[in-house]
Amino acid sequence: MCGIVAYIGTKDAYPIIEKGLRRLEYRGYDSAGVAIFDQGLSIVKRQGKVDNMSKAAIAAGLRGRIGIGHTRWATHGEVNDVNAHPHQSGDGRLAIVHNGIIENYDSLKVALEGLGHIFVSETDTEVLVKLIEEVQRQGNLSLEEAVRQASSKVVGAYAIVVIDRDDPTKLVAARRASPLVLGIGENEFFFASDGTPIVEHTKNVVYLESDQVAVARLDGTYSIVNLENEMQTPFIHQLDLEIEQIEKGGYDYFMLKEIHEQPATIADAMRGRVSPEQNLIRLGGLVEHIDRVANADRILIVACGTSWHSGLIGEYLIEDLARMPVEVEYASEFRYRNPVITERDVVIAISQSGETADTLAAVELAKKAGAFCYGIVNVVGSSIARETDAGSYIHAGPEIGVASTKAFTGQVTILSLMAIHLACHRGLIDDARKQMLVNALVNIPSKVEKAIANCAKPVEFIARELYESHNALYLGRGFNFPVALEGALKLKEISYIHAEGYPAAEMKHGPIALIDEDMPVFVIATNQSAYHKIVSNIEQVKARNGMVIAIVLEGDSEISQLADFVIEIPDTEEQFSPLLSVIPLQLLSYHIAVHRGCNVDQPRNLAKSVTVE
């Protein structure tokens, strides 16, 4: 959802910014632009990917030690060169890059037009830079003071970096809700939407808080104030990120790399939290608060997209094992539907990025109502991680493919640990049962590895057969119903084939009308407890000439006879089967999208981190 990179220091800024923008391109790829200061401000911006902008920037021979860059995911105004960032003040003195949405931009724009400002783009960002220009001019202020004063007039979410042609010794940055990280190097500073553009230069970072204004200067100093102009003492974190984690490592796409990383990332999610020798599950974030969580009246899970699907699996897990009532809500609905939340509720927010605007707002609402908030987050130091009362990181490392894969399995792993932890605390499972569950969990990574290997051939074959389909149906029951939703989402996200996920039995109440020989039906048929019911569902599809692709357990004979194609995965405890059954569905969507010539990592109209409503 827009990526920002900025540099000030002793080196040539443009190559650093361009490389950083490429790392942030997963956040938006409608257009890209840079502003570099040398003798004056040079701005190059182009519709399309960073590559487009880069050709023009190299031709322009941009040089200078201070610069700002942006990759856009459009919110206000169509995708074109004019609406691309950076935007400038009317007198050309200031240039700004912005991530977020200014909600009161309309009224600000009317007021600024009344003062004679002329707008050339349709963006809220241009309103923001002209507001800063006006505040600066009226008060004859320094850039940082103008940004601070302008910030208090703005409603909405923003992370901005501003450069001043008439004082080219500093960069000024500010944020509210949208993320921004300050990187501190040797006589150089970086601002970026996340750590990925910074990590190869320095590991020392400050995660700016909401309503802070930071100044980074050419003389090697920096300072941070709040909106009341009080000096803030920054906490310098060490980035827990390695360059290899943000490169493709020989894979064609990040998504494929991330699918293949899952044996390791699931193991990382369990590291230090599970011990089969001691028959122990211990989720650090939960230990201190176990009484509050285990005695809650109910658990509410809030999330969006793929994280919502893992939340749904969490509901099945926690209700089944810990016997606590769980409700799963789309964060965007929850925050606006006047929900009943009490101090005896526990709210679990699930988010890969930790920045999704709706999920963050749902956490804020829940906190106001006195609920205890627990975060299940991937990005360390992200807003949701900081806003929640406690939580567990999934430790999946950077997920760059827009379609979430390893974050999903990481989230489901944490939810599995949580369900067992709660069940034990509530005295609901004996040691023998616990040992079975613990053993099953620790064996998941090697089984995922096996599933990936088993799938390779059938998945490629099936993808070749099906890539020209226009529709697809995904069916699953119980723990695998959310996996059907996730399989359908993966397919539509990256291959643009219309797909729907349904509880298998619910098929009879509508989707069955769609079934004919052109409708592939993916059936997750691994549930032992409902095996015969799934067999009948498959027979119902076959009776209407539907084509069935079944995910079955190794050695299955019955469904293999019925289905057109089968993909075998290893067996495990039924509760953990989503961690295995999702693998072939991720790989199928990947290969289908590749056959269709789609850009798997950057599907049209989507962005990885949705920091706007």
Q: Which residues of the chain form contacts with ligand G6P (CB under 6 A)?
A: 304-307, 351-353, 356, 359, 402-404, 606, 608-610
- Contact of 195 with 239, CB cutoff 8 Å: yes
Q: Which is nearer to ligand G6P, 18 or 500 (CB)?
A: 500
The nearest distance, CB 603 to ligand G6P, in angstroms, is 8
Residue 345 to residue 389: CA distance in whole angstroms: 13
Q: Annotated catalytic residue: which of 2, 304, 373, 455?
A: 2
Which DSSP string do the residues of 379-396 spell out, in sequence order? STT-HHHHHSSEEEE---
The nearest distance, CB 517 to ligand G6P, in angstroms, is 32
H-helix or E-strand containing 26? none
Q: Annotated catalytic residue: which of 49, 170, 447, 608?
A: 608
Q: Which is nearer to ligand G6P, 347 or 403 (CB)?
A: 403
- Contact of 516 with 544, CB cutoff 8 Å: yes
The nearest distance, CB 606 to ligand G6P, in angstroms, is 5
Residue 166 to residue 143: CA distance in whole angstroms: 10
Q: Is residue 424 among the annotated active site residues?
A: no
Helix 444-466 to helix 262-270 angle, to the nearest 10 degrees? 150
- Burial of residue 429, with CB atoms counted within 10 A of its CB: 0-12 exposed, 13-18 middle, 19 or more buried: middle
The nearest distance, CB 612 to ligand G6P, in angstroms, is 11
Q: Which is nearer to ligand G6P, 303 or 462 (CB)?
A: 303
Q: Which is nearer to ligand G6P, 90 or 410 (CB)?
A: 410
The nearest distance, CB 114 to ligand G6P, in angstroms, is 38
Q: Which is nearer to ligand G6P, 88 or 193 (CB)?
A: 193
The nearest distance, CB 356 to ligand G6P, in angstroms, is 3
Q: Which is nearer to ligand G6P, 7 or 253 (CB)?
A: 253
The nearest distance, CB 399 to ligand G6P, in angstroms, is 8
- Burial of residue 278, with CB atoms counted within 10 A of its CB: 0-12 exposed, 13-18 middle, 19 or more buried: exposed
Length of the chain equals 613
The nearest distance, CB 610 to ligand G6P, in angstroms, is 5
What are the residue ranges of helices labelled H in 61-151? 105-114, 124-139, 143-151
For tokens 């910074």, name the residue.
198
Token pair listed for 49: 């990917």
Q: Which is nearer to ligand G6P, 65 or 608 (CB)?
A: 608
Which DSSP string do the residues of 286-326 spell out, in sequence order? HHTTHHHHHT-SEEEEEE-HHHHHHHHHHHHHIIIII---E
Residue 544 to residue 125: CA distance in whole angstroms: 54
The nearest distance, CB 598 to ligand G6P, in angstroms, is 15
Q: What is the number of the residue whose Cβ is closest to ligand G6P? A: 305
- Contact of 44 with 57, CB cutoff 8 Å: yes
The nearest distance, CB 585 to ligand G6P, in angstroms, is 15
Q: Is residue 455 among the annotated active site residues?
A: no
- Contact of 163 with 187, CB cutoff 8 Å: no
H-helix or E-strand containing 377? strand 372-377
Residue type, 30: D
Token pair listed for 572: 């495990």
Q: Which is nearer to ligand G6P, 581 or 609 (CB)?
A: 609
Q: Which is nearer to ligand G6P, 122 or 333 (CB)?
A: 333
H helix count then E strand count, the chain? 20, 26
Which DSSP string do the residues of 432-483 spell out, in sequence order? HHHHHHHHHHHTHHHHHHHHHHHHHHHHHHHHHHHTT-SEEEEEE-GGGHHH
Residue 268 to residue 586: CA distance in whole angstroms: 20
Which DSSP string do the residues of 38-51 spell out, in sequence order? SSSEEEEEEES-HH
Q: Which is nearer to ligand G6P, 42 or 609 (CB)?
A: 609
Catalytic positions, written as ranges: 2, 608
